[in-house]
Amino acid sequence: MEITTKADFKNNIDQYINQVCNDAETLIVNAEEGKNVVVTSLDEYNAWQVTAQDAEQLSII
């Protein structure tokens, strides 16, 4: 996991997108006033969704 500033992210967005997608790396972008965001690949996001759905179904059983 890497952390960067909003300004650095904006200046290097192509590099960060490639890093996140190619290395399955999660990126935290620190923005002003604590409005931070997490950048992750769509593949990682979809995997999290499947895991969450599986856990929800198991809790019903």
DSSP 12: T
pTM metric for this prediction: 0.77
pLDDT tier at 61 (50, 70, 90 boundaries)? low
Rounded Cα distance, 18 and 24, in Å: 9
Sheet holding 2-5, edge to edge: 2-5, 27-30, 37-39
What structural domains does the chain harbor? 2-60 (3.40.1620.10)
How confident is the model over 15-54, as pLDDT tens digits?
999 999 999 889 999 988 889 999 999 999 999 899 888 7
